[in-house]
Amino acid sequence: MCGRYASARKKHELLEEFEVELDGAPDQELGADYNVAPTKEVYAVMSRVPKIEGARAVRQLRVVRWGLVPSWAKDPSIGSRLINARIETVGDKPAFRRAFASRRCLLPADGYFEWMPTEDKKKQPYFIHPADGGVLAMAGLYEFWKDPTRADDDPLKWLCTCTVITTTAEDDLGRIHDRMPMMVERDRWGEWLDPGMPDPAHLLVPASPGRLVAHPVSIAVNNVRNNGASLIVPVEGEGNGSANNGNGGTLF
């Protein structure tokens, strides 16, 4: 699963990186978050068609809440249990299949955290991130939920939420955890975001070998109240015996 990640890039950096159109930028700016946890607000890149006849899809950067709430849900609490969608079943499960068909997004991240059991039965957190320092474009889904208790003109009437699509971790990363976020390569962003793409499954591939590096980090990340760049700094003297890449990371 993917239950924690880091997203520290500024809004203007993401607008440029993901080629968001001028009218697709949000008014709100999120602060750097090195300990993104479920139910927090996060950035999501999506393509939406304005409600104007003949309009084309516009690439947007939106602020959404992590933990997908299906449109048919009675209340939003279900979102805390729908933070991940398995690629093996995402097209079939009632909670995800409609979003998978036409409401797909990219969730920008600097990297994500996973925990590996150690010999003393404790769990060592690892930060897994691109070897080149680039942005991870995690495959995600988004959904809109209408709050029946609020007036139609209430700005909080509609809640937009998201989930991260996961897959089986490649062999080396699988030693840390058996699941990992599914990535979308840059040349496939447009197709993945296209709400008219009928069968998007072929656009998703696990990260290629050597693309990601991992290093152990402080157990301070275990507490969601802790935040700051120190959470992704390598911990000296820790590790799982894999080869080091010379920059404080374990190369996978």
- In this predicted structure, what is the pLDDT of residue 171? 65
- In this predicted structure, what is the pLDDT of residue 234? 97
Burial class of residue 58 in the structure, from the number of CB atoms within 10 Å of its CB (0-12 exposed, 13-18 middle, 19+ buried): middle
Residue 249 in domain: no
Q: Is 162 a catalytic residue?
A: no
Q: Which one is catalytic: 2, 105, 160, 162?
A: 2
CA 169 to chain centre: 15
C-alpha 215/C-alpha 233 separation (Å) is 8
Give the Cβ contact number of residue 5 at 10 Å.
27
Q: Which one is catalytic: 29, 105, 114, 143?
A: 114
Residue 222 in domain: no
**Residues 213-252 as b or e (16 or more Cβ within 10 Å = b):** bbbbbbeebeeeeebeeebbebbeeeeeeeeeeeeebbbb
Residue 95 in domain: yes
* pLDDT tens digit at each of 252 positions of the chain: 689 999 999 999 999 999 999 888 999 999 999 999 999 999 999 999 877 767 788 999 999 999 999 999 999 999 999 999 999 999 999 999 999 999 999 999 999 999 998 887 789 999 999 999 999 999 999 999 999 999 999 988 999 999 999 998 876 677 788 899 999 999 999 999 999 888 888 888 776 667 899 999 999 999 999 999 999 999 974 444 333 333 344 333
- In this predicted structure, what is the pLDDT of residue 178? 85
Number of domains the chain is built from: 1
Q: Which residue has the tokens 């009437």?
A: 157
Q: Is 2 a catalytic residue?
A: yes
Residue 139 in domain: yes
Give the Cβ contact number of residue 98 at 10 Å.
14
Residue 185 in domain: yes
Q: Model's pTM, two decimal places?
A: 0.90
Residue 79 in domain: yes
Residue 84 in domain: yes
Which residue, 44, 5, 52, is CA-closest to 26? 44
The CATH number of residue 188's host domain is 3.90.1680.10
Residue 224 in domain: no
